[in-house]
Structure 1
Amino acid sequence: MTKNSDRAVAITGLGLITPAGVGREATWQGVLRGRSLAAQDPELKELPVDFSCRVPYMTPDQARIGGGKSWRMGQFTRLAVLAAREAVADAGFAGGDWDGARVAVVIGSGLAGAVHLEEQSARMLQEGPERVAPTLIPMLISNMAAGEVALDLGARGPSLATESACASGASALAVARDLLLSGACDIAVAGGTEAAITPVITTGFHRMGALSSRGDEPAAASRPFAADRDGFVIAEGAAICVLERPADARSRGRRSYALLAGAGQSTDAHHPTAPAPGGAVAESALRTAIADAGLAPGDIDHVNAHGTSTSLNDRAEAELIARVLPHGPSVTAPKGVLGHSLGAAGAIEAALTALTIHHGKVPPIANLTPENLGFPLDCVTGTPRPQDVRAAVTHSFGFGGHNVVLALTSARTVDTATAAST
């Protein structure tokens, strides 16, 4: 199918921690159910918006970092370390059975350790400077998720942090693919993480009009592409993918969930927070990703949409999809179920796209029915849709005008072609 199979990289491991649960399978089953996980949040009590989508309680075994290291990590870093461990184990790597100098780590985050800055600022004002935690800076700075994951895994190749707001996790995967294609590494551990549901951050999003105000019914608040949508629900989570060259994965006898076959990026240069009307500049990212994968627009079977449930973003994205993909691929939007995990969202949605291809099943959009669909798209609603997805795109857009589109294809196509040629 793809003409550029030499530019595709295999996704051989997935690790997920989201409001649907701890672990890849819990998250997949949660999005298949298609019910929003938004709920009242005690930490946001008495604020204008007092609900969110938080990661559920983790048992001591699930949350264990070990080695006396957890105390020095911000929560966004802890989530990344735990998700990375799941992804690496899922890819079939045991401790010490790789050349760490050839392993790269790329992890994006939008707000990184903002929760710890908020907490420590309050502590300093109330108790004085001597009460500020000496670990504040490593708990705060955005590169520490990548740094601690590299330390935990013994990965001594390139270690990078991407920051492109709500496209950060998708940017990390695009950069990781480039590192593999350039020969800078043989394995890349990449994704996104976010844990920034704080009173100040949540109120900041509310003040700019980005959040849903359906406080009387939080589980009905996030409704991507609905005619009566009114904003997103703030969330947290992490997703990490293990990327390898397909030949390397096959030589280890590992299956691939999907291939990350193409990537496209652009910048609106239009407004600090509003998208360019009609997705005019995001279109170049979408077309570039498709072409980079050796595909034509008509080859795309499925779209995992950014789908924030905000007025402007959903409209611009819907117009983009209808214009570039007029043949009507199926569309889903996981933020209906999981909320908007900001810098982690792009990686979570890329992982879910890989699972959609792998399982041949498209999750439905929560809180959307054919009757309240606001756009002429083939949105999946109600129940999961069985579908043989050979090629899909996943969209990620961020404040600052960042547009990142990833193109994923079925690994079966390349595996079949390789078998036929040998």
Structure 2
Amino acid sequence: MSLETLNRHLAAAKPSATYRMIDRVAAKRAAGARVISLSAGEPDFDTPAHICEAAVAAVRAGQTRYTQVAGLRPLREAVAAKFRNENGLGVSWQDTIVCSGGKQVIFNALAATLNEGDEVIVPAPYWVSYPEIVALCGASPIVVSCGEDAGFKLTPSVLAAAITPRTRWVILNSPSNPTGAVYSRQELSALSEVLLAHPHVLVLSDDIYEHLIFDGATFHTMAQVEPRLASRTLTMNGVSKAYAMTGWRIGFGTGPRWLLDAMEKLQGQQTSGASSISQHAALAALTGPQDFIATARSVFQERRDLAVRMLNETPGMSCKTPGGAFYAFASCAGLIGRTTPAGTLLTTDEDIAIALLEECNVAVVHGSAFGLGPHIRFAYALDTETLRSACEGVGRFVDRLTN
């Protein structure tokens, strides 16, 4: 056996398409290019000052040691209060876990419960890490297509058809990365009726974009809509998107205690507790002033409107108006088969994404990486003028294409 032999699941896994594009952007910038990146899924705002000050105060107070694996009790109490007050979930601090980012919450839950032969239903378009995490855990991602005609959302009939005796989880993400689609209470209720008939299926509700929901809509989560599913639902959230804290790496979740206990056991042999300083910052985020959220939401809605309008004005592209998050998922079907000024024949949405970067210094992520092409994901988490410049660059690129 070669010393280079890898775990077979890791060897088969794909690297994150989002981070591959971020690496391409970094390389171009290092070479001197001025690149506008619409590829990263993070707010462009600074973390609010009071949160940063809480972190500094924690450092000065010597709060720099290990914490309990599942998180500091004051933070877990604040997390539980958040779930009670904002989501109507009757949980206590013992019903929570704090991890190093929302991704670890998801990974811990799947790794703690999946075995060979298990299946996880992953609606597409999906966040790029869902199917890869499932495969890394030795299970099979069952990707079900949810196209534009379904609003990029899972429907009861599609869910019912995908469930088998081997189904262990179904993953729901609202608002969605990459589409910004938001499930209504009625839509979640309809899905819950299917799930109630299949008691062996767990539900992973990824609510990380909860506070970025537009047009005055109300956010709903599955365990709130159907309390009978709470005993088999993991509700995941975090501070990264709502409070512009992506680099602080704090995610949290609530669910049945047997699952949280298993996740804590796994985390205890993996990373142990999340960063103590980041936990103090997250505590300040959850318990301090909340006006930042409404301000950011208003700005993102204005940017959404600008990006969607300009993309729909671009020949060969079309874009549904997303209900939340900060992504526009635009169809680029009308550009397939055309040729760029540099002579590149565009045969896939990935070709288009690469050409946009190489020929007009605008970075996006191709939709097929999220399970549905030909689309392009535009992250409009940039200031208005930069976003406008990027969309204008895309327009000029399209204008120069030849048939």
- With normalisation by structure 1, the TM-score equals 0.27
Counting strand residues as a fraction of each chain, which structure ranks higher?
1
- With normalisation by structure 2, the TM-score equals 0.28
Please tell me whether Structure 1 or Structure 2 has the larger radius of gyration of its CA atoms.
2
Counting helix residues as a fraction of each chain, which structure ranks higher?
2
